Amino acid sequence: MRRIITIGREFGSGGREFGCRLAENLGVAYYDQEIITAIVKKTELSERYVQQMLEKKPIASFPIHIGRTLHTLPSPMLEQSRLLYQQQCQVIREMAEKSDCVIVGRCADYILREYHPFRIFMYANMESKIERCRQKEQTQKILTDKELRKSILEVDRQRSRYYGFYTDQTWGDRTNYDLCVNTTNTSIKEIAIALTKLFGK
Amino acid sequence: MRRIITIGREFGSGGREFGCRLAENLGVAYYDQEIITAIVKKTELSERYVQQMLEKKPIASFPIHIGRTLHTLPSPMLEQSRLLYQQQCQVIREMAEKSDCVIVGRCADYILREYHPFRIFMYANMESKIERCRQKEQTQKILTDKELRKSILEVDRQRSRYYGFYTDQTWGDRTNYDLCVNTTNTSIKEIAIALTKLFGK
């Protein structure tokens, strides 16, 4: 079976932990922060800035009237976002060329479509995502359920917009994935062990 | 892992073959036509009629004016459809009580929700579904791609309406399933072997 595996995921669904465990079980590379680090090296921009730009849908340029003519102002933010996306594409393709791997997020399912990756999407119900966030992040313990819910929805909205902007596909739409996994009330460790078997290990 | 497995599926996605193979691999019961047969026995209606009634969303009763008052006419078709659905619920619950099993379609994921079944949904792209239909049914070889496509969409529309009517959920919406499997360009036999491993066999 193919061994380039991409993982799209809702925030709090355990996608990152799953990707990490799956890569470990399969003995293949796991790429996540390494992608940012590689782009930082290429661009000499700060890590935080690159991270932010690669998570938000760019603000589009806006048309203005000068006299009777409609002009489109070039937006430096849009240009930079596009350049960073191109860098990201290049880095991800280089990684996929190098060896079998698991890549979480970053539109990798779309960027690597010519490599026919095995595309997984992970999701869960809100209660389960809130619970998982609380277990992970000490800082999130001070947030109320309502605040945490709002924050989870906001991250997913950003992911959805970013993915939609660059891929022209709908984020989380099952037709774009080979397997969609509901992680509600289940252990990520167990899901990783079970799905590792799909890849013959 | 739980061994009551329900399978929702798009027409032509190979869901029935998959369910049959999975049950065989796991050594558990497979229920499909048996459900119809059991209802036929209970109701003494014809098999064909039961099958038809259990696949189409019932026609709702319609309000009429008598003088100035609005009355709702009882619809015998609606009543019969509801009664048959109740029979179906009972038969499916009896089957689930009896032993571990795989049940394809028939709103079983919803009917058995208190048993916490493992809920699978199978889907594929249209090209792949057309191809699979052609391989299965000799009769479908005389249809053009356009006719076959129309017929596939119509069956799925009926399934969707029926499911929506009785469950108040959206058919094929990933949040109602534990696993959604894209069968495009893959062998059902291989998917069944791979997913059997999820259940520890």
Q: Say what the pLDDT of residue A112 is.
A: 96
Strands B118-123 and A63-66: unpaired
Q: Say what the pLDDT of residue B154 is.
A: 93
Contacts of A174 in chain B (CB under 8 A): 121, 123, 172, 174, 180, 182
Give the tokens for residue B10: 């798009």
* Interface membership of B193 toward A (CB under 8 Å): no
Determine the Cα–Cα distance for residues B122 and B183; give it in Å rounded to an integer. 7
Give the tokens for residue B160: 């969707």
Name the more confident of B26 and A137. B26
Contacts of A123 in chain B (CB under 8 A): 174-175
* Interface membership of B113 toward A (CB under 8 Å): no
Of B178, B181, B198, the CB nearest to A182: B178
Q: How confident is the model at residue A143 (pLDDT cuts 50, 70, 90)?
A: confident
Q: Do B174 and A174 touch (CB under 8 A)?
A: yes
Q: How confident is the model at residue A49 (pLDDT cuts 50, 70, 90)?
A: confident
* Interface membership of A118 toward B (CB under 8 Å): no
Q: How confident is the model at residue A156 (pLDDT cuts 50, 70, 90)?
A: very high
Under a CB-based contact definition with an 8 Å cutoff, are residues B192 and A192 in contact? no
Partnered with residue B181 across adjacent β-strands are: A179, B122
Task: Report in angstroms the alpha-carbon separations of B24 from A20, A61, A71, B201.
Answer: 33, 58, 66, 11
Determine the Cα–Cα distance for residues B201 and B65; give it in Å rounded to an integer. 62
Name the more confident of A156 and A36. A156
Determine the Cα–Cα distance for residues A53 and A51; give it in Å rounded to an integer. 6
* Interface membership of B124 toward A (CB under 8 Å): no
Q: Is the pLDDT assigned to residue A55 strictly greater than 90?
A: no
Q: How confident is the model at residue A13 (pLDDT cuts 50, 70, 90)?
A: very high
Q: Is the pLDDT assigned to residue A175 strictly greater than 80?
A: yes
Architecture label for domain B4-199: 3-Layer(aba) Sandwich (3.40)
Determine the Cα–Cα distance for residues B164 and B107; give it in Å rounded to an integer. 9
Contacts of B194 in chain A (CB under 8 A): 197-198
Q: How confident is the model at residue A136 (pLDDT cuts 50, 70, 90)?
A: confident
Identify from A2, A190, A197, A199 which residue to disrupt to test chain B contact, counting B C-beta atoms within 10 A and taking the largest count. A197
Q: Is the pLDDT assigned to residue A62 strictly greater than 60?
A: no
Determine the Cα–Cα distance for residues A171 and A57; give it in Å rounded to an integer. 13
Collapse the DSSP code of B59 into the 3-class scheme (helix H, G, I; strand E, B; otherwise coil) and give the result: coil
Q: Say what the pLDDT of residue A79 is.
A: 81
The mean per-residue pLDDT over the stretch A24-32 comes to 93
Length of chain B: 201
Indicate the DSSP class of residue A74.
Answer: P
**pLDDT, mean over chain A:** 87
What does the DSSP assignment read for A101-116? Answer: EEEESTTHHHHTGGG-
Determine the Cα–Cα distance for residues B112 and A83; give it in Å rounded to an integer. 51
Under a CB-based contact definition with an 8 Å cutoff, are residues A183 and A128 in contact? yes
* Interface membership of B39 toward A (CB under 8 Å): no
Q: Do A175 and B182 touch (CB under 8 A)?
A: yes
Tens-digit pLDDT profile for chain B (201 aa)?
558 999 999 999 999 999 999 999 999 999 988 888 888 888 888 888 888 777 776 665 555 566 666 666 567 777 888 888 898 999 999 999 999 999 999 999 999 999 999 999 999 999 999 999 888 766 556 788 898 999 999 999 999 999 999 999 999 999 999 999 999 989 999 999 989 988 876
The complex's ipTM works out to: 0.85
Q: Say what the pLDDT of residue A145 is.
A: 86
Cα–Cα–Cα angle for A6, A10, A14, nearest 5°?
A: 75
Contacts of A125 in chain B (CB under 8 A): 175
Task: Report in angstroms the alpha-carbon separations of A198 from A14, A27, A61, B57, B191.
Answer: 19, 14, 45, 37, 9
Report the residue of chain B nearest A184, measured CA to CA: B178
Contacts of B179 in chain A (CB under 8 A): 179-182
Report the residue of chain B nearest A183, measured CA to CA: B178
Q: Do A177 and B182 touch (CB under 8 A)?
A: yes
Task: Report in angstroms the alpha-carbon separations of A196 from A27, A50, A193.
Answer: 10, 32, 5
Share of chain A above pLDDT 70, in %: 87
* Interface membership of A195 toward B (CB under 8 Å): yes
pTM: 0.87
Strands B4-9 and B118-123: parallel
Determine the Cα–Cα distance for residues B101 and B35; give it in Å rounded to an integer. 13
Q: How confident is the model at residue A74 (pLDDT cuts 50, 70, 90)?
A: low
* Interface membership of B177 toward A (CB under 8 Å): yes
Q: Do A180 and B175 touch (CB under 8 A)?
A: no
Determine the Cα–Cα distance for residues A148 and B99; give it in Å rounded to an integer. 41
Contacts of B156 in chain A (CB under 8 A): none
Q: How confident is the model at residue A200 (pLDDT cuts 50, 70, 90)?
A: confident
Of B1, B174, B194, the CB nearest to A123: B174
Q: Say what the pLDDT of residue A182 is.
A: 97
Residue B189 Cα, gap to closest chain A Cα (Å): 13
Contacts of A180 in chain B (CB under 8 A): 174, 177, 179-180
Q: How confident is the model at residue A168 (pLDDT cuts 50, 70, 90)?
A: very high
The mean per-residue pLDDT over the stretch A80-94 comes to 89
